[in-house]
Amino acid sequence: MIPAFYFNLDPNDIPDENGFDPETMSPATESAIERAWSSIQSLYIIDFPLGIGTDAWPRVWQWVRFFHLFRDHLKMPIRLAKSPLSVDFLMFSGRFRDNQASYTLIKSTPAFWSMLGEAWLHITQSVDPPNGVLFADLSGFIQAPEAVEPDNLAEMIEGVGGTIHELARVATLYLALLVPRSPDVVDFIAMHLLGPVLKFSKAIDPSLDNMKGPALPLGAYGIALLSENVVPILTNGLCAGMRVLAQGGDPVKMDYIAGILWETSNLLKVMLVKSSAVQDVPMALKSGLLRAIATCAQIPGFSPLQQHLAHWVHIVLPVNLVFHGVLRALGPALEDIVGLVDTNAFRRSVVYEKWIAFKSLAQERLQILESRFFDETRSLRVCDNIQVVF
């Protein structure tokens, strides 16, 4: 089958893009295009040896680029395919992840990253159930160092729509696909796939990495993530990840998930600390931030993650307890975890001492809120900071 594949994808048969007219092509050209399309459609049933990628890739890429360029003009079943060409092509490209020479060639191909961006966009718009293999293929590329090289990143942005904001929108929609929607779902694979998106986000916006840009103001990508409501998605991701840790399993896998949760919490923390939007912290509280912290505190063996999460109740949340919107969200959030924090496991945790101090301050501020801001219809536009009453 491979010899026929090579014959049908002969680059010499590709029509000249500048002079090609689908309406007037010769029978020989039409036959070559049909044979090539047939081979493209068979990419997923051919068992390619990994080492063949460096030979197969140039043939496949040149024809895919041609079909992609003329996809709306050819009188062929391209538009009737079950998934967009860019998505199918991504899955083919991902087959060579384990062959360094092939993978390097793919990532260095001009215009490849634009195709990848388009595939990413289509994935977030698909109505089909998430495909774990497809997600893994995409993850392999976006976490590669080449993904954030200026020219490649520019191509990817072009593929998703043309702006950094559209890239942030696609990343946010993708995160929403990965994070389980049900509070009862425990999904190790979904949590595993969060890591590459977090790594990619920090790589293109150094302000999101508190190791590289602690003093940097939030960058354009980070601002765009917030505007796309990434806060509840990341918070839900924390809660989903805690369910995975609580269930337990292979220690190596659990340590990996704990690392992803650390990164998720850290990204969320950096954005909330650097953001001036007062609605972001309430969204995190409403989405279960305190539940995630309280759950993690009681899971043995994850002290570094627990100490990291303790920083939320020690520093990040206390400084926000002067805002009306934060306190309005805090009351129900505290009520939601009453039983969760009333356990011996929680009292023995590294979070407990800081939690007690935080809870005391929270109750004090909530009392002020109730006594001074008893009118529920009061406009928050007048002043959202209760410090004015002191």
Instruction: Give domain status of residue 248, yes or no.
Output: no
Query: According to the model, what pLDDT value does residue 249 have?
Result: 85
In-domain check, residue 242? no
pTM: 0.86
Residue at 7 is within a domain: yes
Higher pLDDT, 152 or 375: 152
pLDDT at 294 over 90: yes
H or E element in which residue 226 lies: helix 220-227
Let me know if residue 175 belongs to a domain.
Answer: no
Q: Which of 74, 98, 114 lies at the terminal end of a domain, its last residue?
A: 114
pLDDT in tens, 163-191: 999 999 999 999 998 887 776 766 788 88
- Given this model, what pLDDT does residue 384 score? 52
Look at residue 180 and tell me if it is in a domain: no
**Most confident range, picked from 28-37, 146-155, 359-368, 369-378:** 146-155
Question: In the predicted model, is pLDDT for residue 79 greater than 50?
Answer: no
Q: Please spell the DSSP secondary structure of 310-350, one letter per residue.
A: HHIIIIITGGGTTBHHHHHHHHHHHHHTHHHHSSHHHHTST
* Amino acid letter for position 333: A
Q: Residue 136 falls within a domain, yes or no?
A: no
Residue 127's pLDDT is 58
Domain boundary at 56, 79, 114, which? 114
User: How many angstroms separate the Cα of 117 from the Cα of each of 122, 153, 314?
Assistant: 9, 9, 40
Note down the domain range covering 4.
1-114
Q: Please, which pLDDT band fits residue 389 given cuts at 50, 70 and 90?
A: very low
Q: What is the tally of structural domains in the chain?
A: 2
| Residue 376 reports pLDDT greater than 70 | no
Last residue of a domain, one of 72, 90, 114: 114
pLDDT at 71 over 80: no
Question: Residue 358 domain-assigned?
Answer: yes
- In a domain, residue 148? The reply is no
